[in-house]
Amino acid sequence: MRKILSLSALLIICGCQQNVVVPTAKELIASPSLLAEWRAKCETGEYSHLPAEQKARMCATTGDATISVTQVKAGNEEADFFEQNTIRKK
């Protein structure tokens, strides 16, 4: 009876755990608030303590999206600088 009860408790606990849906890099780039949320989770939050393999699986797209957003921002700043310095003033 104890074995059945402990097995039932284990199945209930495992059955209640939800699978985490990791957003794609494209989704993260499109939503700055979602990117900020996932960066916090990966850097200091609930996923920061995971083993390296699991953390890589959960946070790889967050890193990719962060790099892409940073590159786009830097490119826009360079384009603005170039435009300001090359347009002839009337």
Residue 30 has pLDDT above 90, yes or no: yes
In this prediction, residue 37 carries a pLDDT of 92
- Lowest average pLDDT, out of 10-19, 24-33, 75-84, goes to 10-19
**Contacts with 59 (C-beta within 8 Å, 6 or more apart), sequence order:** 38, 41, 42, 47
Residue 2 has pLDDT above 70, yes or no: no
The pTM of the full predicted model, rounded to 2 decimals, is 0.65
In this prediction, residue 47 carries a pLDDT of 87
CA dist., res. 10 & res. 63, Å (int): 35
pLDDT in tens, 39-88: 999 988 888 888 889 888 889 999 999 999 999 888 888 888 888 877 76
Domain boundaries, the chain: 22-86
Token look-up 């993260």 returns 28
In this prediction, residue 67 carries a pLDDT of 92
